[in-house]
């Protein structure tokens, strides 16, 4: 505490200070408990901790503090009255920094000043000038963020094939959203979906499962390619007749066409495709359970125009992927009522074999898979990329597998 003599000396010095310093000193002298008032001859008691949680003299936290809300309100009103009488300009700046602190009862919010916020942020020196809460947080090394950080996915896959196709017209001759999603996941993001309208009417009895699925995929691929060329020629003819070339847009020739077909082959060699109705769906899954294992065949066929335009004008390559799937048994929990419940989910209604290995069916029905899992989903992606490289960058070459097939 300052003595009365020192107080008088401080009052004398105030007359010698410039105007801004006079206003600041006059305001500080009016803050309760900070300094004795220049005109007062009494000695003030020790200052009460501002927030009632820290004593700057003993440097200890106190759990038995008086009501913080009532004391802060009383001190705030006293400071406003004192500031208004002694230093109106500084008081106006001080009052403009008053902030509202959220309270658990919204009907009785607590008002605190910027100096109180500073005291709460820096307990070691409660009389520091009141900084903004962002500056105070940064000075104490506290990180401020408005929301959770954005989680970035993996970096894109960089392959010469994907870089080459990034600006080309690539057609997926399938309406399957799963095949589209898998190709987009590896980097083919400019896919044009054009499902084949060719009927799948090859004779299953006269053809084996491999010949049937490969023939169907080839027919889909060639049909979509020819439809794209026909649409291009039609657009070019309409453009020639149009008054302005900008009225009709002629699509470019497809750089690549991808087609696929998937079937289920039972242990007896019977080919299963999509279920016709709910009863057929249940019978199909019960048969796969009772026969224990089955095969999933997916034929992938890709086509690209020939660079030298030689006959037949395109390069085509295909591959058949074979995966063995083992179903659970009734004794393992796959009873008829469980199958009926799965059928009612409609998850496998549009899929060959009537189940989705990437969904509930993979957890409920499937016990084991021997081979490529993405083949069971509908597209062996790695084999598909290999075929795309062949028809684009190695045209005219004959693989050993194709020589064996011809023999």
* Residue 261 designated active-site: yes
Question: CA 248 to CA 238: how far, in whole Å?
Answer: 7
The structural domains of the chain, ordered by start, are 4-139 (no CATH), 166-398 (3.90.950.10)
pLDDT value at residue 147: 55
pTM for the whole thing? Answer: 0.62
Q: pLDDT of 183-226, one tens digit each? A: 999 999 999 999 998 888 898 888 999 999 999 999 999 999 99
Mean pLDDT split into 10-residue runs, the chain, 407 residues: 58 65 64 51 49 49 49 55 46 45 46 49 52 70 63 84 94 94 94 91 89 95 95 88 76 94 93 92 96 96 91 93 96 95 94 93 95 95 96 84 51
The gap from C-alpha 152 to its chain's centroid, in whole angstroms, comes to 7
How big is the chain by its Cα radius of gyration, in Å?
40
Cα(37)–Cα(63) distance, rounded to whole angstroms?
31
Q: Give SS3 for 129.
A: coil
Q: Whole-angstrom Cα distance, residue 388 to residue 186?
A: 13
Among candidate residues 261, 290, 332, 350, the one labeled active-site is 261
pLDDT on residue 136: 73
Distance between CA atoms of residues 204 and 386, nearest Å = 28
């Amino acid at each position: 505490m300052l003595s009365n003599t020192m107080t008088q000396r401080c009052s004398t010095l105030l007359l010698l200070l410039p105007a801004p310093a006079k206003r600041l000193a006059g305001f500080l002298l009016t803050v309760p408990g900070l300094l004795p008032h220049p005109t007062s001859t009494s000695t003030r008691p020790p200052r009460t901790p501002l927030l009632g949680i820290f004593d700057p003299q003993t440097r200890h936290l106190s759990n038995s503090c008086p009501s913080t809300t009532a004391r802060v309100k009383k001190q705030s009103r006293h400071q406003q009255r004192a500031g208004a009488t002694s230093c109106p300009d500084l008081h106006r700046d001080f009052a403009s920094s008053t902030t509202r602190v959220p309270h658990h009862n919204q009907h009785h919010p607590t008002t605190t000043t910027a100096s109180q916020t500073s005291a709460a942020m820096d307990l070691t020196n409660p009389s520091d000038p009141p900084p903004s809460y962002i500056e105070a947080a940064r000075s104490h090394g506290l990180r401020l963020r408005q929301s959770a950080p954005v989680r970035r996915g993996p970096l894109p896959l960089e392959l010469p094939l994907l870089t080459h196709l990034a600006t080309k017209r690539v057609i997926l001759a399938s309406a399957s959203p799963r095949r589209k999603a898998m190709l987009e996941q590896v980097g083919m993001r400019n896919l044009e979906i054009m499902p084949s309208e060719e009927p799948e009417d090859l004779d299953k009895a006269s053809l084996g499962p491999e010949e049937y699925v490969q023939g169907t995929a080839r027919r889909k691929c060639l049909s979509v390619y020819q439809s794209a060329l026909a649409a291009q020629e039609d657009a070019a003819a309409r453009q020639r007749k149009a008054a302005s070339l900008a009225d009709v847009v002629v699509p470019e020739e497809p750089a690549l066409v991808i087609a696929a077909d998937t079937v289920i082959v039972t242990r007896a060699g019977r080919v299963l495709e999509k279920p016709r109705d709910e009863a057929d769906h249940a019978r199909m899954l019960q048969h796969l359970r009772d026969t224990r294992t089955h095969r999933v065949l997916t034929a992938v066929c890709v086509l690209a125009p020939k660079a030298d335009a030689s006959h037949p004008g395109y390069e085509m390559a295909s591959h058949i992927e074979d995966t063995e799937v083992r179903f659970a048994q009734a004794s393992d929990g796959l009873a008829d009522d469980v199958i009926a419940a799965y059928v009612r989910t409609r998850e496998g209604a549009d899929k060959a074999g009537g189940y989705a290995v990437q969904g509930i069916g993979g957890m409920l029905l499937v016990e084991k898979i021997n081979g490529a899992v993405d083949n069971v989903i509908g597209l062996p992606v790695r084999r598909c990329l290999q075929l795309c490289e062949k028809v684009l960058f190695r045209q005219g070459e004959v693989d050993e597998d194709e020589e064996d097939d011809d023999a």
